[in-house]
Chains A and B, each alone.
Chain A
Amino acid sequence: MSMHAWLPLAVLASSLVPGLVIFALPESWIGLRTALNLLGALVKLVLVGLLLAGVAAGEQYGFRHAVLPGLELAFKADALGLLFISLSAVLWLFTTLYAIGYLEGAPHRSRFFGFFSLCVTATMGIAMAGNLFTFFVFYELLTLATFPLVVHRGTPAAMHGGTVYLAYTLAGGAVLLAGIVWLHHLVGHTEFAHGGIAAALGPQYAGQLRIVFLLLIAGVGVKAALVPLHGWLPRAMVAPAPVSALLHAVAVVKAGAFGIVRIVYEVYGVEFAQSLGLLFPLAVAAAVTIVWGSLRALFQDDLKKRLAFSTVSQVAYIALGVALFGPIGTIGGLVHLVHQGIMKITLFFCAGNYAETLGLHKVSELSGVGRRMPATTLAFSIAALGMMGAPLTAGAVSKAWLIEGARAAEMEWVIGVLWTSSLLNAAYFLPILWRAWFRPPPAAWPDEHIPARGRRETAWLLLVPPLVTAAAVVVAGVFAAADWSPLAWAKLIAAREYVTPQ
């Protein structure tokens, strides 16, 4: 097996193997477990770095294995997949660090970190899937690997949230499977290819292809939390904070959004999807989701629930960018895949810090928290401003490209949607910031677990990850024009998707 075949497999193995070993470890072997976790995360980063360098230089990476006659598990590491892989690999490292701090002394940590690693493995599989079949295999594995994390606490609320999560995602999986088999039946394969594979069928299949598109988008739309398929996401926020980070930023909703990108660009082909009239309904669904998610977020007093509805809204930006026919909108959508990830993970890290350190769960309890936990609140503020699209943040870059894309696609109403969303974002984030920085703190915090020690407001493992990701929010905004920025990579992908070598 050449290096070009084993590198994608090694990326999978770098989290799968530590995960399986961790399951077997006794609960008390904390040192070895932590070492394995970090070793896996670091090895994965190195491997992803190799892939990035190779793909930028035009190398092809792939591996195939037939599971049935005519049905293959196929992996490929292309520019689009690597965008997602790099995001997940980097955020996995920080989430792992954070989770080690967050779960210190909690029960069932072997189980937690085992499934955590499986989750990332599934995400890597989704990102590197070379056809829809492989995508589906890992998409369902992701569902199975996240369920134990969502119900990790075992409380009735957690069990309920987990059950709702399963019901939505498994039903979505069944719909997705129906679409995939149908497509496989029509085309004979489900390969991801530049320019799509569905266009090869004659015009008499247009009707069937529209239904298949609906099935596929509904199937991945459940994880991407498109309204009205978003019901599980706010309920799943009962999970521990690192899991919320995983659901909202690293893996689950991203997998759904990524699926939409793959289906539109590499299964249908964006020109063909446009000619079938499929992009406009997708844009409308995304716009409705953006506005509805923001509106619901306004009325949530529970901080994590407010963030969850904010995710519903923000992830739909990606779908919106895809649905804006043209390379500029694509760049906006793709870059938001990364930007939303780093912003939202920062917010969830901070929410976790408030809850773990001081027992704060509600927005109304956050008065004056900026004085007690300035660093956390600073990170929270940066990410929240980014979500609103404030200048010099990553969010501003995404929003600018999306607005340009809407203008280029001559869909001016989308600009209205984006501005409305920004205003609503401001309406639900600014009161939090104001409360945290300018309102006086209460006499005593509800449930202070971790006392302040000198300048350190909480455990350092909880503090470093949000500060790093918050810094990344600013860096991705300020240095958007650099060669190594997410934006540059998104431009590379858009160039490859739209200028298709036949």
Chain B
Amino acid sequence: MADPLVGLVLLPLGWATLAFVLGPGRGAWAALAGIAAQAWLAWLLAAQVGAGGTARHAVGGWGAPLGIDLAADGLSAALLLLTQWLALGVALYARSYFAAGDPARRYFWPLAGFLLAGLNALFVANDLFNLYVTLELVGLAAVGLVAAAGGERQIAAALRYLFAALAGSGLYLFGVALVYGVYGTVSIATLAPLITPEAPRLVWIAGGLMALGLVVKSALFPFHFWLPPAHGGAPAPVSALLSALVVKASFYLLLRLWLGPFAPLAPAAAWLPALLGAAAIFWGSWRAIRAERLKPLIAWSTVAQLGYLFLIFPLLAVPAAFGAGVMQVFAHALAKAALFAAAGVFIQATGQDTVAGLAGAAARLPVTLFAIGLAGMTLAGLPPSAGFLAKWQLIEAALALGHWPIAVVALAGGLMAAVYVFRVLRQAFCLAPAGAPVAAVPRALEWTAFALAAASVLLGFFGVDLMTLIEVRA
């Protein structure tokens, strides 16, 4: 386990199994220890990649094509870092959250472990087929997490999510089959020089199908239908993991293929994701503004925030656009995990999750309220948060290429986000109905939510470090 690449994939598999055997109580400690070790490994890897270029490992000493090569460049290292540290925060939160005896606690730790193993493997996988397997692993673990609470609503949402995920990965797999049929390889490195704008039509179709499949899994408008019930219905720690990380995995893959082997074909379709992204921003924000309950509000906000990620595709000719995409992934992941965590605090405190019902509780849970405020700053792209840096880079890239409508969409989306964020925040200042019962909530819940939110803002001061890391390309 000397190699961080291997450790990051095997450790979560190990503690997931252990947590299943030990049960939720002691299993949580195994998981926390494992995630802490992963966080350390990801830190080492980022330092290694930042200092000396990409990291590579051939599993079992077998090389491609029969063996599996793991590799990490700057982008992979950055996302691995985000995943482990965010998971550490969510895990600390989940341990307290499930201590109360939630029905989902029995399956949470093993499934979370498999989810992390899948995500980590996805970030270091190096050929199209292994990426498919990791994608399925992530999808199945995520569906399991949604269903873990066992209520009728959650299971229906999980099934809906499962079918969308299977359709998405099926499309992706079909595209991979076509690519293999044409070129006889699925290695990203080997494919890169082969695919040119003169490639056979079959390759174009393959690229289109793979992109479509990934877009379905990323819940881009109009394929977002599965996301609000799944993310809005799951227990808070699950929603946090799903909204923060899982939808980003398929986006990461799309970005990697778009910038990598399919780069010669990509410009032809660049505006389509951007248009859908703009539609996602407006529709998702609108639904979030209208939402009556807190968790669906946050889930619709995810739909909107994912839209920003797709605005970058017509702008990738300038480096700021790539930076904007990665910064938005980080900003949204941290802020959204914080928001779901904060929502979980309010639900535990008041036993319900309507926005209007916060009025009594918000003033009595100031730490959580601040968490929502800081995370909200990031979502609305207000300075000095990481979300602001993402918006800045996006607008700058749009102006550099003269595509000012994208800048307008980004600014308008920020204002709409401010509307739904302040809809929640203002409840804290409304005169509270007297005698609304507020149950005691473990402090660990409040402070982990706060730490995640604070991280989403503080990252705004360290943009240079992140940008330097992701500049390291394979």
Contact = CB atoms under 8 A, between A and B. Distances in A.
A touching B, CB within 8 angstroms: yes
A187 to B, nearest CB: 12
A431 to B, nearest CB: 36
Contacts of B399: 181-182, 185
Contact of B393 (A68, A136, A140, A171): A68
Given A66-B464, A68-B323, A159 B392 contact: no
Contacts of A162: 426, 429
B396 interface: yes
B382 A140 contact: yes
Contact of A67 (B396, B429, B430, B460): B460
Nearest to B459: A67
Interface in A163-195: 163, 166, 170-171, 173-174, 177-178, 181-182, 184-185
Given A68-B463, A140-B383, A181-B395, A152 B429 contact: yes
Interface string A129-145: 00000001100110010
Contacts of B366: 23, 111
B411 A148 contact: no
A444 B305 CA distance: 59
B418 A159 contact: no
Contacts of B382: 140, 144, 173
A154 B431 contact: yes
A151 interface: yes
A71 interface: yes
Name the residue in A65, A71, A155 with the highest tally of chain B Cβ atoms < 10 Å from its Cβ. Answer: A71
Interface string B320-356: 0001000000000000000000000000000000000
Contact of B426 (A151, A155, A174, A177): A151
B467 interface: yes
B9 interface: no
B467 A69 contact: yes
Contact of A174 (B411, B431, B464, B467): B411
Interface residues on B, range: 35 or more
B71 interface: no
Contacts of B407: 178, 181
B464 A68 contact: yes
Q: Secondary structure at chain B's binding surface: helix, strand, loop or mixed?
A: helix
B430 A154 contact: yes
A148 B366 CA distance: 13
B363 interface: yes
A439 interface: no
Contacts of B384: 67, 73, 137, 141
Contacts of A166: 418, 422
Q: Secondary structure at chain A's binding surface: helix, strand, loop or mixed?
A: helix
B389 interface: yes
Contacts of A66: 463-464
A136 B411 CA distance: 14
Contacts of B463: 66-68, 71
A108 interface: yes
Interface string A62-95: 0001111101010000000000000000000000
Contact of A178 (B323, B373, B411, B467): B411
B312 to A, nearest CB: 15
B33 interface: no
A154 B430 CA distance: 5
Interface in B36-74: none
Name the residue in A66, A68, A174, A182 with the highest tally of chain B Cβ atoms < 10 Å from its Cβ. Answer: A68
Interface in B395-431: 395-396, 399-400, 407, 411-412, 414-415, 418, 422, 426, 429-431
A185 B418 contact: no
Name the residue in A65, A144, A155 with the highest tally of chain B Cβ atoms < 10 Å from its Cβ. Answer: A144
B377 interface: yes
A166 to B, nearest CB: 6
B429 A137 contact: no
B163 interface: no
Contact of B396 (A141, A147, A174, A184): A184
A65 B464 CA distance: 10
B396 A185 contact: yes
B183 interface: no
B411 A68 contact: no
B435 to A, nearest CB: 16
A163 B425 CA distance: 11
Interface residues on A, range: 35 or more
Interface in A274-315: none
A216 to B, nearest CB: 14
B383 A137 contact: yes
Nearest to A155: B431
Contacts of A181: 392, 395-396, 399, 407
A487 B395 CA distance: 41
Contacts of A65: 461
Nearest to A72: B464
Nearest to B384: A137
Contacts of B391: 177
B409 to A, nearest CB: 12
B285 to A, nearest CB: 14
Nearest to A143: B382
Interface in A19-78: 23, 65-69, 71, 73
A140 B426 CA distance: 18
A275 B375 CA distance: 44
A386 to B, nearest CB: 35
Contacts of A148: 429
A435 B182 CA distance: 93
B254 to A, nearest CB: 24
Given A67-B463, A155-B431, A185 B400 contact: yes
A151 B415 contact: no
Contact of B383 (A111, A141, A159): A141
Contact of A151 (B323, B388, B429, B464): B429
Given A66-B464, A67-B389, A166-B418, A177 B395 contact: yes
Nearest to B463: A68
B411 A177 contact: yes
A174 B412 CA distance: 8
Given A71-B392, A181-B395, A185-B399, A159 B429 contact: yes
A69 B380 CA distance: 22
Contacts of A174: 411-412, 414-415
B377 A159 contact: no
A134 to B, nearest CB: 9
Given A182-B399, A185-B400, A159 B426 contact: yes
Name the residue in A148, A155, A174 with the highest tally of chain B Cβ atoms < 10 Å from its Cβ. Answer: A174
Contacts of B323: 68
Interface in A104-123: 108, 111
Interface in A410-455: none
Contacts of A159: 426, 429-430
Interface in B418-474: 418, 422, 426, 429-431, 460-464, 467-468
Given A67-B460, A68-B464, A177-B391, 8 more contacts: A23-B370, A71-B392, A137-B383, A140-B383, A159-B429, A174-B411, A174-B412, A182-B399
Q: Which 10 A-B pairs have the closest CB atoms?
A: A137-B383, A68-B463, A151-B429, A154-B431, A185-B399, A174-B411, A181-B395, A67-B463, A154-B429, A66-B464
23 contacts: A65-B461, A67-B460, A68-B323, A68-B393, A68-B463, A69-B464, A69-B468, A71-B392, A140-B382, A140-B383, A144-B373, A144-B382, A148-B429, A154-B431, A159-B430, A162-B426, A163-B422, A163-B426, A174-B415, A181-B392, A181-B395, A184-B396, A185-B399
